[in-house]
Amino acid sequence: MKRTRTFLADGRELFYFAADDEAVPAPPDPRDLPAVSTASQLRWDPLLGEWVMMATHRQNRTFMPARNDCPLCPSSEGRHTEIPAPGYAVAIFENRFPSLSTEARLDGVEVRHPLVEVRPGFGRCEVVCFTSDHHARFADLSPSRARLVIDALADRTTELSTLDGVEQVFCFESRGKEIGVTLPHPHGQIYAYPFVTPRTRRMLEVARHHRERTGRDLHRDILTAERQSGVRLIAETAHWVAFVPAAARWPVEVHVYPLRKVRTIADLGDAERDDFTTLYLDLLVRLDRLYGDPLPYISAWHQAPACDDEELSHLHLQLFSIRRSADKLKYLAGSESGMGAFITDVLPEDVASRLREV
């Protein structure tokens, strides 16, 4: 893989990723851009014991622009975007409207609450452009291009993890206007958090309790149970397994695990990365065939945080959708939003069976 580093007009980093034999044009960014906001802050929620990110400048972020105004398409003569090059394979750059920033600072913030700690919103947010093709889906990528995306995520995970103060790196894709996507161009994001996220912290606590109670690894036990049962299994390859979890919260939910326990995407070997792209591309096609229409989804990589010295984590991907039928969405109503107690309308075994059939 070839990586080319350059900068945008306001100082943000931009990386081009390409195959070793590809040329990578990296022209300068000719735009006159304002400085990126550094006003992000963190506030401690004393009721839940969680950090809340506040970034008021994101109210003005780009929202569903017309095709000709897409900021993620390559630049062309007379139209300059976030990608100055006339074409690219994979491009990753610092978000212009970040929830977290390495330059964050507190200016004149007065919360005046003894239980609510306030910190600068330190961290980093990056945008991952999977392809220069505005109308493509991740599922449309060739195996070699999909593998390039995985290699790029591994590269960024490694580099962002070295930033002093970063505790967890989260790579994800949100797809579909139903999910809340504001840019239709195929892309994902990376968040480098200065804390361990609530969901990861909870999974670590449960895994620790399971080890103390049984002496075994929770993720290993889940994998063993799903593989032996087979009723929720979608696919298994030499290095990966994909299944619908037995207690799925979402109408469509698939977990994808490497059979070898590793901490991060960067720890995957070449054969594992190749094998993943084959399985994942097949899975995405199946998901889009489920209702005969592109499925809105969130595809979330769960990587080990820096503090996991007990090796409780197991790298895996959780992909889920709010679509519960061809013409209905699953909204988070009173029980889910108010109490965090999920109610699902579809049995996991039925979803797995349909995904195998399509």
Catalytic positions, written as ranges:
187
The whole-angstrom separation of Cα 88 and Cα 129 is 9
Q: Which residues, including other chains, have CB under 8 Å from residue 165's CB and lie 6 or more apart?
A: 122, 123, 194
The whole-angstrom separation of Cα 95 and Cα 37 is 11
The whole-angstrom separation of Cα 55 and Cα 60 is 11
User: Which among 68, 69, 2, 50 is positioned nearest to 195, based on CA atoms?
Assistant: 50
The whole-angstrom separation of Cα 328 and Cα 142 is 31
DSSP state of 354: H
Instruction: State yes or no: 302 annotated in a binding site.
Output: no
What is the CA angle 332-188-329, rounded to 5?
25
Contact 40, 100 (CB under 8 A): yes
Distances (CA, A) of 174 to 177, 182, 299, 315, 344: 9, 10, 7, 19, 21
Contact 149, 292 (CB under 8 A): no
Instruction: State yes or no: 125 annotated in a binding site.
Output: no
Instruction: State yes or no: 73 annotated in a binding site.
Output: yes
Q: Could you tell me the end-to-end alpha-carbon distance of the chain, in angstroms, rounded to an integer?
A: 34
The whole-angstrom separation of Cα 200 and Cα 202 is 5
Instruction: State yes or no: 316 annotated in a binding site.
Output: no
Q: Tell the residue number behind the tokens 């919360």, with chain if given.
A: 111
**Which residue positions form the known binding site?**
70, 73, 134, 185
**Which residue positions form the known binding site for Zn(2+)?**
70, 73, 134, 185
